[in-house]
A and B are shown apart, each in its own frame.
Chain A
Amino acid sequence: MNLATSSIDYINNVKNGIITAEEFVAKTLEQISKHDKNLHAFISINENALDQARQIDRKIKSKEKVGAFYGMPISVKDNICVKGGKTTCASKMLQDFVAPYDATVISKLKSQDATIIGKTNLDEFAMGVATEFSAFGPSRNPWNQEYVPGGSSGGSAVSISALECVLSLGSDTGGSVRNPASFCSVVGLKPTYGLVSRYGLVSYANTIEQIGPMGRKVEDTALLLNHIAGKDPNDNTSIDNGSQDYLEGIDAGIQGKKIGIIKEMSKGEGLDKNVESSFWRAASVFEKLGAKVDEVSLDMVSYTIAAYYVLVSAEAGSNLARYDNIRYGYDFDSEGYEFNSYVSKARKNFGPEVTRRMILGGFVPSAGFAGKYLLKALKVKSKLTKEIQEAFKKFDFLISPTVPILPFKFGEKINDPLAMYLADTNTATANLTNVPAISVPFEIHNGLPIGIQIHANILQEKQLLQAAYALQSTTNIPGVPL
């Protein structure tokens, strides 16, 4: 029984009685107890996972109808609500918060007999690129434990990479699925805005964020997307995708497709030389696969980090206003306090990055400054959207390195927020323009992973996954050195 199994092999093996869900889940829990002390991918583990797996085995034995996942262990970022368990957002403010309901993605997974194996670590409220802002301590990169795993869905990426689950759900506001996917050499997809319901995802910047599937292989993320996508009455931004099957025809190839290299993301200052050369090798691989590759310019990309951080701070400032120590969080009695001073004192529980975003979030939309910051950011978003739509008239896919830099060491950027923000340079565009984008593991340089990012137009996930699969089929990445 191989923990490095693909999701499809797992399903076939359980279906055909070669392994049981219980055996696999037990072995996964063993792997977690062996490695997670060091890696810290998980904030909490589902104590009932083995029982749930046993129940699924019973259903299989008695020939009852079994859901598509056959008890497969799936990890979930700890900003997605799973009923009855803690959803902490890696924040002291929510360390005792028990979710009263399941997120729509969780109801869907449960109804298909997935085993939610545990909740994964993240930067506090999903703000960060390294998990260093988790109130419960960072996760470590399984490729080299002195390095960050990326973020904010770092725990999800680590749990997949370290064989502590088969699939994982992350969330992506400006790259939080794709960045850790790239840093940990796994696959991560940010779907079209609205393709996956956000009901039960703790809001941070809700006009651009999406829950995204992560896995070791492209086909794993396609399978997971099959079961989480679609219209949800509880999220009125969600889209009906006609129950599309993203797995079917995934090996169609990209012969004759047109691919644009986004110039502003693929050369110049800020781009690590090793990442750059790896990326250009990927570009030539696409050519060998029969695609036509050319360069394309998106002028607004130079302004995306400023625009993105203005927008998310403004949204975070209002979304996080609910953490007042009365409805959420509780660490001291209100006796003797006046309302404002009580809330202000409670918010000392926020870590440094959330505090910065709260202050920025008060600043950028305020009278006197909104014209300079917020309105300009919204205009950049509009213009960037037009530019990318223009590019998609000529190209089927747009590519870039996922992250302009290699994974970095702990502490390297923690006191320089701006340097950290720049790690999102290549990923924020997909969020600002609503299009899907995926990170595919491509090479390992000096023991550190490099991922390639592919964008497709809105609701073109099927084609996007085909392109990602084609690229994946040319790679030869060694096993993780655990």
Chain B
Amino acid sequence: MNSTDQQIDRALHALRHAAPSDGMDQRLLARLKDHAATPAPSWHPVLTFAPPVAALLTAALLLMVFHHAQRPTAPATIQTTAQAAPEANQATPQRIQSPVVLPASHTSVPILSPSTASQPATAAEIDPAYLPSFPAPEAPLTADERRLLRAAQHAPTYDVAQLEALPEPLARRQGAVAQYIHHMLAPLITAESFSPTPAVEHDPPPLTQPEAQSESQPDSNSSPQ
């Protein structure tokens, strides 16, 4: 065995016989007593946080549903297909059932009952003449409709096709000018209606140029008389 192996064995021997200091067991037991007194965790750390997270998610969901239910909506008047189909089969189509007024929370989708949904309604059974009509409620006029109405009232000579291109202030200004001109010309039109002026025939202007030419330039062709 050479000196290198001796060095290695000496180092390993020193590690093999390393001894702890005296009283290590007592010190360890004294320090570990506090750890042993604490209860062992009975839940996985992920499962420990699961109930609070689930409670928070449930509360958020309930809050969202409650907030959605309290949103102000107008009560809708709808007639379901389940009510309309039997009426079409009845012999007296004039007897129309009054529409059902549902609360605000039931305004989303008309619901078909399973019994009605399973019965197919042919085109002959449902005559459109007997079905009640439900026109859409009157909606406020759009900007184009208001512009068209104003043009029809005040400026009848407007080209309707230009309304889309004209901005509203320009159209209003042109309408005001036309109204002003119409107001200024109104007395003249009235006076004209009482004493109409004779029509003046505008003759074409005399042709002076050829006469001037004939005066200045004696006609060489004309014979002296």
Q: Do A and B truly interact?
A: no
